[in-house]
Structure 1
Amino acid sequence: MTHRAQCAQLHARPALYGLKPSYGEAVTFLRGYDLATDGGALRGFTEWLVVRSGHRTSLAWPALALRTALAVPPDASFSAGALTEEQDRAAFDALFTLLDEFFAATQSPMALARMYSDYRALMED
């Protein structure tokens, strides 16, 4: 099963993995999944999110994806500590939409290389 298919299944049936449809639980699972694949599952996801946003940042993918999901401006102060149930579910769904877009955009080695080139250019400005 591809990483894209695995993530789609996790999104569709989180209870199958012992999870609630919660952003925090999904992030915890995905971090473990990424570690289990020696960083291969989500390689480039942080950089892709940075390029997608068009803003330099040192945030890790969980914070970037959450800010994207909730449409938090890049320069705004934000704490993820107290999400409402609706925000948590929206962030959960948005995370998997972002992952699907990431897997689609970086399917080929050339597309992944182009994304890293764009990331480097953005970070060097």
Structure 2
Amino acid sequence: MPLPHVLEMVRRCPGMYLRCVQFDVAVAFVDGFDVATNGGLLVGFREWLVLRLNDGNNLAWSQILLRIDQSERAGDPSAATEEARVAFLFSTLDEFLSERERPTGMRSIFVRYEDWLRAQDWYDPGSPDWVPRSKD
């Protein structure tokens, strides 16, 4: 699934839709769109980002995305402009939606995320979010 039409328009011409082209403003716009779709847009996005970063389970999706952006721009921190971060937000969201919309995409994301959680040394039956499997 490509980005929904409204988000694609913002991606192409952010200055026409956002009061200023800044990462936080774009995040607020995407969060608002998610609320308008009853949470349907971002289902699995945070988990997908955690897998991509291999860290950040305790962070909001926007903060994980910033960490990914920083790690990918490590060689050129001057390229980390607000406009570049906004573009990265929309391209990453588009990549996620494309993966999620595959026939087993959503399930695959959550299965990989659960496997990732179980591989962490801090995730055990004493963890507040622990979910036992039938074999546990």
Give the TM-score range, shorter chain.
Answer: 0.7 to 0.9
Report the Cα distance in structure 2 between the residues aligned to 1:91 and 1:17, rounded to whole angstroms: 16
State the partner residue of 1:36: 36
Report the Cα distance in structure 2 between the residues aligned to 1:56 and 1:98, rounded to whole angstroms: 16
What stretches of structure 1 of length at least 5 have no aligned partner? Answer: 73-83
1:99 aligned to which of 59, 68, 93? 93
Identity, in percent, stands at 29
Report the Cα distance in structure 2 between the residues aligned to 1:86 and 1:123, rounded to whole angstroms: 30
Poorly superposed stretches of 4+, deviation over 6 Å: none
What stretches of structure 2 of length at least 5 have no aligned partner? Answer: 73-77, 120-136
Q: Which has the higher contact order (CA 8 A, sep 6+)?
A: 1
TM-score (structure 1 length as normaliser) = 0.78
| Aligned: 1:108 with 2:89 | no
Higher-helix-fraction structure:
1
Q: Alignment RMSD, CA only?
A: 2.2
Report the Cα distance in structure 2 between the residues aligned to 1:6 and 1:44, rounded to whole angstroms: 20
State the partner residue of 1:65: 65
TM-score (structure 2 length as normaliser) = 0.73
